[in-house]
Amino acid sequence: MKKHNRLFILFTLLLATIFILAACGGSEPAAVTEEAPAQEEAAPAEEATEAPATEETATEPEVEEETAESEASMEMSCEEPIKVGLISDATGALGIYGAHILRSFPLGLEYATGSAGEEMDGYTSYMYNGCEIQLYVRDDQSTPENTATVGRELIEVENVDVLVGTVSSGATATLQELARENEIPLIVAPAAANDITGANFNEYTFRTSRNNYQDAVNICEYLTNEYDTFVQIAPDYSFGYGGATAFRDACTLFGGEFVADDIFAPADTTEFTPYMEQILDSGADAFIVTWAGGGFVPMMQAAQELGVLDEMAMAAGFVDNAVMPVFFANAIGSTSGILYHYTQPDNEVNDWLVEQVQAQHDTFPDLFDADAMNAALLLTSALEKTGGDASADALIGAMEGIEFEGPKGTIYIRPEDHVAIQDMYIVKLDNVDDPEFKYFEAVATNRPNVPCLLPEEMADRCGDLPIGALSLESLQTEPDGAEEETMAEMGTAVCEEPVKVGLITDATGALGIYGAHILRSFPYGLEYASGTAGEAIDENHLKYQLDECEVEVFIRDDQSNPENTATVARELIEVEGVDILVGTVSSGATATIQELARENEIPLIV
């Protein structure tokens, strides 16, 4: 036990030095088409009419007065077609949301070009100011493996110039990496994870979807007027992590208190009883739900069966038209936030979208239709600025700082981090049985300013934006001299026996894209601290010399599966005799390591 304590102190100081001084590595789901109105009628809409009690909390820079020449439509010239690859979920677990994208991105191109596209062999062709835009559509079923496959096919076979997608935040991370590797601009819609324009940011990634923080800032000010204490549940992947972080930060800033640790459940969970028991045991006034997909229904069933809804309120952003009657039937009269509902914006673009979704798809726009149309309008607005130049450099320059009018009014793409500043809505739930989904009464329209979440090595891009968090506590920094004090305490490391470290992360599982960051940069940290590259005994066993201590690193792949985590952790403890554990990507799997570390009295660095 004493050996573990001494080693933990030594290793913690070592890692503190690494984190202070070393640069961190990069980050972890066919209808008849009516003719559209003539181009003059499809021009960008007027300034959106404000909803009641509008609060504008974000300020875009003033746009300098343009010359008459720049105000005129720029002449476009394209020697070759502009090829766009749209990836979404048509048949997978999130296909209910993919349907919004698959109908309204083409509608956005139709609006911009003034006519319906022409179906060709494998793509749809649109003519925009003399340039042909070819739209190629692929189904990724919201799985990163499929996303990678169809993404590569669009890039390597179809030679697309721009990628658009996708629904799942985890799959979007895969798409971001492909876009970066191939230097192809990516417009994200509708995935919401903070990491997209945060930890996973690259210069090729833009978004028209909101992020978790925009949801949280929009909702928390209202939640904290009604409730004092909170607990929250979210899915165990990037969308859930970002949502939990943002809600904890925003609701704390507005005076709320979280009385229990955040609860993360696998995205494919169908049995929520254990999680609802944790929520009930917390004694909170309200539980916050961040979720996407079919898990809503079994979650609510478990909450009702256990009496959770009798003991505390459910606090969640309002969702899509189909799920509202299931999820919020017992919440008539409640007030919360929603990112888009077709009844809320008052502008010509939204009116056109409502008309065309009704005419062409026999329904009404839903939660993510605006994101999809805005993605198309961002692309066409940028192409107009570049004169039809679809090169990455030209499009990136055009999209950074651009403003355009969409179904949600004015969209502003922040040049610093490519976040889409946009209106968000506070509404009161009147009913869940209107045949046209007219469920809500308008309360307010907000335009949240949200922190810049770029990784530390890119923080200079953030400029004057708030960085990292909203709450004052989260923004606190170490007092002057803290770094020097830490360094002064460190002496020469002397060890009679090798220090054995067990590194557990996801190399080949669903979160492997994040595990890759750990697998490369934990060894880099040791290399930085020791001053030399480690010796590879084999691909899963590395040795480093730190002063007079030999540090051995044993690497294991848990595939983000708690059962695998338990197996490899026990093997590291019982066979390799590790002194310290490090890991892992999945919060659920990390809980497994925590218990093993406690049982075996071994320090764990998460």
CA dihedral (453, 457, 459, 460) in degrees, to 10, reads -160
Backbone CA torsion sign across 250, 587, 452, 208: negative
Q: CA angle 118-123-124, nearest 5°? A: 25
The pLDDT, as a whole number, for residue 476 is: 33
Is the Cβ–Cβ distance between 573 and 599 less than 8 Å? Answer: no
Please give the Cα distance from 583 to 511 (Å, whole number). Answer: 13
* Preceding peptide of 479 cis, ω within 30°: no
pLDDT digits (tens, 9 = 90+) for 185-232: 999 999 998 999 999 999 999 999 999 889 988 989 888 988 999 999
Question: What are the beta bridge partners of residue 554?
Answer: 502, 541
Q: Mean pLDDT: which of 329-338, 347-356, 552-561 is highest?
A: 347-356
- Exposed (0-12), middle (13-18) or buried (19+): which is 243, by Cβ within 10 Å? buried
- Spell out the residues 6+ positions from residue 183 whose beta carbon is closer than 8 angstroms to its own: 204, 392
Please give the Cα distance from 200 to 187 (Å, whole number). Answer: 14
Please give the Cα distance from 329 to 194 (Å, whole number). Answer: 30
The pLDDT, as a whole number, for residue 37 is: 36
Domain extents for the chain?
Answer: 2-26+479-605, 73-210+342-417, 213-338
Q: Lowest-confidence range among 6-20, 299-313, 561-575?
A: 6-20
Give DSSP secondary structure letters for 517-586. Answer: HHHHHHHHHHHHHHSSPPEEEETTEEEEEETBEEEEEEEEE-TT-HHHHHHHHHHIIIII--SEEE--SS
Residue in the block written with tokens 């894209």: 513
Which band of pLDDT confidence, cut at 50, 70 and 90, is reported for residue 74?
low
Residue in the block written with tokens 């690494």: 18
> Which has the higher per-residue pLDDT, 52 or 551?
551
pLDDT digits (tens, 9 = 90+) for 508-544: 988 888 888 998 899 889 888 888 788 889 989 988 8
Between the alpha carbon of residue 593 and those of residues 165, 278, 345, 542, the distances in Å are 34, 20, 48, 21
Is the Cβ–Cβ distance between 151 and 139 less than 8 Å? Answer: no
Q: In the predicted model, what is the mean pLDDT of residues 372-396? A: 97
pTM of the predicted model over 0.85? no
The pLDDT, as a whole number, for residue 511 is: 85
Structure tokens at 481: 């001299």
Please give the Cα distance from 190 to 488 (Å, whole number). Answer: 49
Sheet holding 335-338, edge to edge: 335-338, 424-429, 440-446
Looking at this protein, which amino acid is placed at residue 261? D
The pLDDT, as a whole number, for residue 60 is: 52
> Which has the higher per-residue pLDDT, 167 or 242?
167
Backbone CA torsion sign across 464, 470, 471, 475: negative
Residue 460 DSSP symbol: G
Q: In the predicted model, what is the mean pLDDT of residues 248-274? A: 92
Which band of pLDDT confidence, cut at 50, 70 and 90, is reported for residue 1?
very low
Q: In the predicted model, what is the mean pLDDT of residues 354-362? A: 98
Report the CATH number of the 213-338 domain.
3.40.50.2300
- Spell out the residues 6+ positions from residue 598 whose beta carbon is closer than 8 angstroms to its own: none
The two most distant CA atoms of the chain are separated, in Å, by: 81
pLDDT digits (tens, 9 = 90+) for 3-40: 444 444 445 444 444 433 333 333 333 333 333 333 33
Q: In the predicted model, what is the mean pLDDT of residues 342-360? A: 98
- Exposed (0-12), middle (13-18) or buried (19+): which is 297, by Cβ within 10 Å? middle
DSSP H helical ranges for 22-164: 68-71, 95-113, 144-156
> Which has the higher per-residue pLDDT, 86 or 598?
86
User: Which CATH fold would you assign to the domain 73-210+342-417?
Assistant: Rossmann fold (3.40.50)
Per DSSP, the three-state class of 148 is helix
Residue 10 Ramachandran class (φ > 0 left, ψ -120 to 50 alpha, else beta): alpha
Structure tokens at 284: 């909170």
Long-range contacts of 150-155 (CB under 8 A, 24+ apart): 150/87, 151/85, 151/87, 151/175, 151/178, 152/178, 154/85, 154/87, 155/85, 155/182, 155/184
pLDDT digits (tens, 9 = 90+) for 103-113: 999 999 999 99
Percent of the chain with pLDDT over 90: 57
Between the alpha carbon of residue 385 and those of residues 51, 185, 418, the distances in Å are 31, 15, 17
pLDDT digits (tens, 9 = 90+) for 97-134: 999 999 999 999 999 999 999 999 999 999 999 999 99
Question: What are the beta bridge partners of residue 136?
Answer: 85
Report the CATH number of the 2-26+479-605 domain.
3.40.50.2300
Q: Is the pLDDT at 334 greater than 90, yes or no?
A: no
Identical fold for domains 73-210+342-417 and 213-338, yes or no, is: yes
Q: Which helix (H) or strand (E) holds 499?
A: strand 499-505
Residue 129 Ramachandran class (φ > 0 left, ψ -120 to 50 alpha, else beta): left
Between the alpha carbon of residue 558 and those of residues 27, 423, 553, the distances in Å are 18, 41, 16
Is the Cβ–Cβ distance between 177 and 196 less than 8 Å? Answer: no
